[in-house]
Structure 1
Amino acid sequence: MSDRPSANDRLTDVELDASIGRSTPDVEHERAVAIFDLVEENSFHPVADEGEGPYRLKLSLVDAKLMFAVSREDGEPVVTHILSLTPFRRIVKDYFLICESYYAAIRSSTPSQIEAIDMGRRGMHNEGSQTLRDRLAGKIEVDFDTARRLFTLVCVLHWRG
């Protein structure tokens, strides 16, 4: 990819395969919001692709691994990458714990306590986003904000409600 990304190096659609399964209405809402936010603003380019997007992304779970199936907007396949979810287990678990603390703090803590917990929550989210970006390196180029949105979706996929 050139130093100056193309305006077409982006996702226009993100689909969750039936393998992901469905959950409670609250979790489904969070998934929909995560997908909307990702499609609304992103920078995404498969490294091996000589062409350009825009792209569609289909996420599936295969043997406890996350499969990224990338196609062009017209459905023509571009590339498929499979990532182990193992490197994310601790981060997602810690992220959920700190989110629980944050939501509990909102109900009973001082603004400064809430802010401190929120800073930790954002830091953990950043760590997960960087881990995802590192795991995609050499496969799919994403900017940090896109990695954050994708990590949010990875977290929502783990959230059972």
Structure 2
Amino acid sequence: MSDHRLASIALDAATLPAATSEIEHERRVAIYDIVERNSFEPAGSEHGPYDLTLSLQDSRLVFDIAGGDYKRAHVLSLTPLKSVLKDYLLICDSYYEALRGSSPSQIESVDMGRRGLHNEGAELLKDRLAGKIALDHETARRLFTLIVALYRRG
């Protein structure tokens, strides 16, 4: 396994909104899945592994990275991500509602839309981090899940 990977991830508790049990479960699963298998290579770093703390500060997403020979924070504006974040949150709410009483075909339709938006968010995140941090698609998808967790209001 490459040492250009994340060894741990933390979400800044001070900026993390309260969550339902489903959302908290998604956070834990995303963190577990990322740590188990990921590709994360900050530009200019010789080696990892890395520890990552994600936070929101003044409507900016902060990637605080430390490990190996690297210690740096990357700050991204949330503005380019806001549209897909809002759409994703709406469809997630629809998905959770569908799970509570819709037919399997309705749940599948909503889930397909949810996965499509998730992929769109992951690709946008990869594009925004280009030249700063190289990610594979699955790592970007799981990081997008955590960004949604930070962005979600209540």
Higher Cα Rg: structure 1 or 2?
1
Give the alignment partner of residue 127 of structure 2, picking from 130, 134, 147: 134
Output the CA distance in 2 between the equivalents of 1:106 and 1:28: 17
- 1:18 Cα offset (Å): 4.1
Shift of 1:106: 2.6
Q: Which gives a bigger RCO, structure 1 or 2 (Cα 8 Å, sep 6+)? A: 2
Cα distance, 1:58–1:107 mapped onto 2, change above 3 Å? closer
Between the aligned partners of 2:40 and 2:148, the Cα distance in structure 1 is 19
Q: Which amino acid aligns with 1:144?
A: H
Q: Deviations over 1:94-116 (max 9, x none)?
A: 11111122222233333222212
Alignment partner of 2:86 out of 90, 93, 114: 93
Cα 1:85–1:33, aligned 2, differ >3 Å: closer, same or farther?
A: same
3-state SS, counterpart of residue 118 of structure 1: helix
SS for the counterpart of 1:13 is strand
Q: What's the RMSD between the two structures over aligned residues? A: 2.0
Shift of 1:37: 2.2
SS at match of 2:100: helix
- Structure 1 stretches lacking a partner, 5+ long: 1-5
Contact 2:48–2:67 (8 Å) recurs in 1: yes
Query: Cα distance 1:60–1:107, how it changes in 2: closer, same or farther (>3 A)?
Result: closer
Q: Give me the TM-score of the superposition, normalised by structure 2.
A: 0.87
TM-score, structure 1 length as denominator? Answer: 0.84
Q: Quickly say closer, same or farther: Cα 1:160–1:34, change in 2 above 3 A.
A: farther
* Residue equivalent to 1:3: none
Asked whether 1:11 is paired with 2:6, we answer: yes
Q: Which of the residues 41, 44, 47 maps onto 1:48?
A: 44
Other-structure match for 1:84: 77
Identity of aligned residues (%): 54
Give the superposition deviation at 1:44. Answer: 0.3
Matches within 5 A, 1:21-40: 21=16, 23-24=18-19, 26=21, 27-40=23-36
Counterpart Cα distance in 1 of 2:81 and 2:35: 22
Among 109, 131, 137, the residue aligned to 2:102: 109
* Other structure's SS at 2:62 match: strand
Runs of at least 5 residues in structure 2 that lack an aligned partner in the other structure: none
After TM superposition, give the deviation of residue 24 of structure 1 in Å.
4.2
Code of the residue aligned with 1:46 in structure 2: it is: P
The runs of at least 4 consecutive aligned structure 1 residues that moved more than 4 Å come to none
Q: Deviations over 1:48-94 (max 9, x none)?
A: 21x11111112222221111111116xx6432210111111111111
Give the Å deviation of 1:42. 0.9
Alignment-derived partner of residue 68 in structure 1: 63
Counterpart for residue 154 of structure 1: 147
